[in-house]
Structure 1
């Protein structure tokens, strides 16, 4: 390693990007994803992350490809955590997501020098942090966190289809689609439905 590379490594900070997936569905957990790596600052561009986008703007195939890159590259440390539908019903989605952000940060091998969070997320006060509106569109590391969260949650919901095939969770992942409304009206709620989310929207669907 030459002196320039040594200096760059010395100046790097361990920065973590965090985002969530599954804030709005009627069923299943919310997932908080986090990706950490060494950067000089939050604006440093990593060649390996060129072209990465917010998970909502990628196809399922592209998300899986990025997920594989992030998980297999030793430059990145990736973690995720699920917060159950029961916890969402008990504490509300906002507190559930904040709890998830706290717990996912505890999984890292070292405390981050800086935590970058999307939207309305925030971390416990002991972390140096910055919340960025539409951060998943502006900061590649937050976009990476969104991909980890989305892929991890989608896999869980696909598995839930095996247990509750009548709801077609493999198709809509718990979101409030027309088909999902129809299945709830026909079969009622199952164990993974968010009861605090479902009541009013199903009533509207019935009357719509």
Structure 2
């Protein structure tokens, strides 16, 4: 369904509205993670907003509250190998679809952050800046970010040179310098330009 479907329906008529968001599209390393959340109107959660605008400790507190109070929540990820194979947009849409499919409660409407919708069976709409405007999407943003951050912190223990505990895979100066010095890891996205450049340089150097 396209994002115009609410011209025909009122959001108030739906009982199980899922919010969907993703984290990690612009990273050079690690997966893209999508989350889907159906909130419980009988158990409201205060302070939901775009996860990027929340302090880390507040994100963690809200993530635990969402998991405890939501009617349903789920996450799905697509790793670097999938991103490199089908591109980051298609990997993101696939993760979003999988996250909704994993919900333990069937949604009757889905609201997605951004301007693109996956191809799926649900009535849905895409909302630009939805992660700061729609509580369900804000909740999904928080779940996705805390899940992905936790994974990247674990990867920092395995690959300590890259500063993943701080940059969570984004292309910071420290990260780029480490890439050039140590080369890419198995969790780097080989089709992203800064990583491709390092791979090409290493290949040329070895000839």
Give the alignment's TM-score, normalised by structure 2.
0.84
Task: List aligned pairs for 1:34-49, cutoff 5 A.
Answer: 34-38=36-40, 48-49=44-45
Q: Separation in 2 of the partners of 1:34 and 1:165?
A: 31
More divergent stretch after superposition (46-55 vs 184-193): 46-55
Deviation by residue 1:54-76 (Cα, 9 ceiling, x = unmatched): 00111111110100100112x43
Q: Contact 2:28–2:195 (CA<8 Å) still a contact in 1? A: no
- Cα distance, 1:12 vs. partner? 5.8
| 2:44 aligned counterpart, secondary structure | helix
* 1:14 paired to 2:16: yes
The 5-angstrom pairing of residues 135-146 of structure 1 reads: 135-146=130-141
Q: What are the within-5 Å matches in structure 2 for residues 1-208 of structure 1?
A: 13-38=15-40, 48-73=44-69, 75-199=70-194
- Residues in 1 aligned to 2:197 and 2:59: alpha-carbon distance in whole angstroms: 31
Which 5+ residue runs of structure 2 have no aligned equivalent?
1-12, 202-207
Moved over 3 A (4+): 198-203
Q: Secondary structure at 2:170's aligned position in 1?
A: coil
Residues 199 and 89 of structure 1, relative CA distance in 2, 3 Å threshold: same
- Point out where structure 1 has 5 or more consecutive residues left out of the alignment: 1-10, 40-45
Output the CA distance in 2 between the equivalents of 1:125 and 1:144. Answer: 21
RMSD: 2.0
Question: How does the TM-score come out when normalised to structure 1?
Answer: 0.83
